[in-house]
Amino acid sequence: MFVLFDAQPPGAHGVREEPQFVTARAGESVILGCDVAHPLNGQPYVVEWFKFGVPIPFFINFRFYPPHVDPEYAGRASLYGKSSLRIEQVRSDDQGWYECKVLMLEQQYNSFHNGSWVHLTVNAPPTFTDTPSQYMEAKEGGSITLSCTAFGNPKPVVSWLREGELLGNSGKYKVSDGSLTVMSISREDRGAYTCRAYSIQGEAVHTTRLLVQGPPFIVSPPENITVNISLDAFFTCQAEAYPGNLTYTWFWEEDNVFFKNDLKRRVSILIDGSLIISKVKPEDAGKYTCSPSNSLGRPPSASAYLTVQYRARVVNMPPVIYVAIGLPGFIRCPVDANPPVTMVKWRKDGFPLRVEKYPGWSQMDDGSIRVAEVTEDSLGTYTCVPYNALGTMGQSPPAPLVLKDPPKFSVVPGGEYRQEAGRELVIPCEAEGDPFPNITWRKVGKPSRSKHNVLPRGSLQLKSLSKEDHGEWECVATNVATSITASTHVLVIGTSPHAPTNVHVSASTTSANVSWEAGYDGGYEQTFSVWYGHVVKREQLGPHDWLSMPVPSTQSWLLAQGLEPETAYQFSVLAQNKLGTGPFSEVVTVNTLVFPISTPEPLVLLTPPRCLTANRTQQGVLLTWIPPANHTSPIDHYVMEFRLGEKWDVLDDAIPAGETELLERKLIQESWYEFRVMAVMEDLTSEPSNIVGVSSTDFFPPEMADEGLARPVVAGIVATICFLAAAILFSTLAACFVNKQRRRKLKRRRDPPLSITHCRKSVETPTPLTPLPGTEPYWEGPERSSYRPPPASPQFFPAKQPLNHCLIVTNTLQHTRA
């Protein structure tokens, strides 16, 4: 309680001119003193109290009469002492200036000077005069403002908190004069927000909970499960939302589980969203999707996979197995198993089948039987029994094997067709066989969207050629036994160029070497331009401005200079001819290197490999080349590429640098191949070498499986031949030596010249032989009618001639003796 006692005036009519200042705390009592001069003789007087701003007094007191009190102060204001005022339970709105006046009823004054001023200051803790509701609702994606007003003395500071964190102005919140605005409301903004009013007299808090209206949020999504056949499967799916009128829908793949005939009788959805599948079957396996909804926004979804384990079984075994006679074939066992199949047992004509007893037969990993060449040995009735880790469900139904002739092309399309755009093109293709084959056409690579028909005989009709029709097409003839294909190439003339391919960019510090492979020119000469720009857009270039550089007509590369070091660039190549521009090539992104501080950038030079050749051999195609003429660093390796149509594919990208030849055995029959080779040095790839082509029409015999047995046999044959040749040669030399000795003995005995004459005739009978290089022929006698080798050249005649000569002489001697 604050008490201010009356002070005695300095004189009879003394008035205290200085105001009084009184401070009180709200809810307490205070006394406002009235410093006036009272009459000495007990004359009657009236006490009046005024509050500044109100023209009439709110408190009047006259002697013993009850005081007159304003209703605002009723029960709280009373006279204290002779003229002071006591106020109980002070309020904040009691603060202000007060004036007291004392009216002397028996004295005459021109004005009331008996009075004083008092200022009352009420210190009050903060109290809220306006607050938001305890619960506030807002829609997802919208905004909401929470207003909070507080009163107190001194004036409190109002702030907003969320989870103990003070909120300030940001992209999410805006705080101003006690109001909080939440913008772009999402589910994460839900929760409690606290308004806090604080001053030195205390603080007041008010909490509002924000409820966000929006689609549900899945808090417990389903998880992948594995269940054995005939057991139950259980998926969980729990969601939260406001409002919480949730409904759950489950899907198998893309269909509602209650719309799947075999599944709808065995599924149930619990109130918390969980899904139960009773007695699962192999067909129940797949993706299950939970989707909760409360009719607000787009409902979320979460998926999980059900894996059903079961014993191996045979599904959809064909009633008849058709295979093409004379070609490789397969006898398949269509198995369905989880875990995967581990073994398949076969029976043929009711007896266990031992594959190893049939030449060229083998069993594959999936249990199928591969026959290298189908013959009548394959005829029979087959059954198979698959097994996995859980066992088997039994054998397949019996299926007889029937031999059929494969389709055969009677008319094969040509290797290449050229036609102008907009015109019609018919490519012939006919096939025959029993049963009669069905002919279809397909475009290799990107399919054509233009209109094309297959004529009754099997030819392809392109009514109005377009740019999309350009490329490789395949004619496919199919019957129940097998399919065969024949390919051709269509060149559409009179179009804009096709996009360049295989764009490669090698960057240095301030330049980049761009190389590419030209696409089809559309039938007209094409030129190129290289386009490039910064990955991070520059203000001076604009958002879509790229720079372009023309390329000389004979080049398929360009050096882009004037680039910034350590900067990311994008490159693309554009082709054009007289009919227009084609599409851009793929965009390649590279980073230029860091600018060197002291050492200059070295010159990198790598020329392409040279003189690539392709030769067909019995083992395959032998590709040989010569290393690059110039390269500033050692070659790392070579890359060999091939193509059957327009697109280049990698044949081998790890050819050692020391090798300059490659033997390729696996080629598709009746196809035209083109090859090229490139050298790789560090991170730089050279330009392609010259392109060589080779046909695989002639069959390349595969390596024999028993090559290890064939080589010893051949070696034995060769050794035998060599041994026989050596024996014959040795026998010939021995006969010659014996005959020579006999001739010398005959000369000594001076035998008649008959044998010699006969021998000479035998010598003259053969046609004279051509002398060896470096020897002179020798003729006997002045007429030179008899030819014999010079004495210094006993080895003049070929190996077989001395044998015949010596045999003739021997026969002659025997005849003479006879």
Q: In this structure, what are the phi and psi dihedrals at residue 244, rounded to the nearest 5 degrees? A: -95, 25
**Band of pLDDT at residue 481, cut at 50, 70 and 90:** confident
In angstroms, the CA 735 to CA 809 distance is 11
Say what the pLDDT of residue 534 is.
87
Say how far apart CA 706 and CA 712 lie, in whole Å: 11
CATH architecture assigned to 315-404: Sandwich (2.60)
Of 2.170.120.20, 1.10.10.370, 2.60.120.260, 2.60.40.10, the CATH number of 217-310 is 2.60.40.10
User: What would the pLDDT profile of 147-162 be if each residue is shown by its tens digit?
Assistant: 999 988 888 999 999 9
Burial tier of 322 (Cβ tally within 10 Å: 0-12, 13-18, 19+): middle
User: ∠792-793-799 over CA atoms, to 5°?
Assistant: 160
Phi, psi of 709 (to 5 degrees): -90, -30
State the alpha helices, DSSP H only, in 345-425: none
At which residue do the structure tokens 């403002």 appear? Answer: 145
Exposure b/e, 772-800, CB count within 10 A at least 16 = b: eeeeeebeeeeeeeebebeeeeeebbeee
Quick one: what percent of the chain has pLDDT higher than 70? Answer: 82
| 573 beta partners | 530
Number of other CB atoms surrounding residue 371 within 10 Å:
21
Residues 568-588 pLDDT 10s? 999 999 999 999 999 999 999
Confidence check: pLDDT of 364 > 70: yes
Q: Is the pLDDT of residue 468 over 80?
A: yes
Mean pLDDT over 725-738 rounds to: 79
Its CATH class, for the domain covering 131-213, is mainly beta
Per-residue b/e over 188-225, b at no fewer than 16 CB within 10 Å? ebbeebbbbbbbeeeebebebebebbbbbebeebbeeb
Any idea which architecture 610-695 has in CATH? Sandwich (2.60)
Q: What is the pLDDT of the chain when averaged over all its residues?
A: 82
More confident residue, 729 or 211: 211
Q: ω into residue 243 within 30 of 0, thus cis?
A: yes
Q: Which two tokens stand for residue 305?
A: 């996979």
Distance CA 760, CA 754 (A): 10
For the structural domain made of 501-591, what CATH number should be given? Answer: 2.60.40.10
pLDDT given at position 712: 54
Residue 343: how many other CB atoms lie within 10 Å: 12
Q: What residues are paired with 180 via a beta bridge?
A: 146, 175
Q: How confident is the model at residue 35 (pLDDT cuts 50, 70, 90)?
A: confident
Given pLDDT bands bounded at 50, 70 and 90, which one contains residue 109? low
For residue 706, the model assigns a pLDDT of 42
Quote the pLDDT of residue 616.
83
Of 15-24, 363-372, 748-757, the poorest mean pLDDT is in: 748-757
Query: Model confidence over 269-290: pLDDT tens digits?
Result: 999 999 999 999 999 999 999 9
Checking if the pLDDT of 564 tops 70, the result is yes
What superfamily in CATH does domain 408-493 come from? Immunoglobulins (2.60.40.10)
Asked if residue 250 lies in contact with residue 269, where contact means CB atoms within 8 angstroms, the answer is yes
Looking at domain 20-124, which CATH architecture does it have?
A: Sandwich (2.60)
Grade residue 789 by pLDDT with cuts at 50, 70 and 90.
Answer: very low
Both structure tokens of 716: 């034995």
- Would the pLDDT of 755 be above 50? no
- Span 706-714, average pLDDT: 49
* Domains 217-310 and 610-695 alike in fold: yes
User: Span 324-328, mean pLDDT?
Assistant: 90
Contact 621, 694 (CB under 8 A): yes
Tell me the domain boundaries of the chain: 20-124, 131-213, 217-310, 315-404, 408-493, 501-591, 610-695, 726-817
553, two tokens: 């007509």
CB atoms within 10 A of CB 232: 11
pLDDT digits (tens, 9 = 90+) for 388-427: 999 999 999 999 999 998 999 999 999 999 999 999 999 9
The torsion region of residue 744 among left (phi > 0), alpha (psi -120 to 50) and beta comes to alpha
DSSP 166: E
Taking only the tens place, the pLDDT of each residue in 656-705 is 998 999 998 888 777 888 999 999 988 888 999 999 888 876 544 444 44
Q: Cβ neighbours of residue 795 under 8 Å, at least 6 residues apart?
A: none
Query: Does the pLDDT of residue 110 top 80, yes or no?
Result: no
- Measured between alpha carbons, how far is 662 from 685 in angstroms, rounded to an integer? 19
- Mean pLDDT is highest, among 582-596, 702-716, 804-818, for 582-596
DSSP label at residue 670: S
Task: For residue 122, count other CB atoms closer than 10 A to its CB.
Answer: 22
Mean pLDDT of 557-571: 91
At residue 572, the pLDDT reads: 94
Q: What percent of the chain has pLDDT over 90?
A: 51
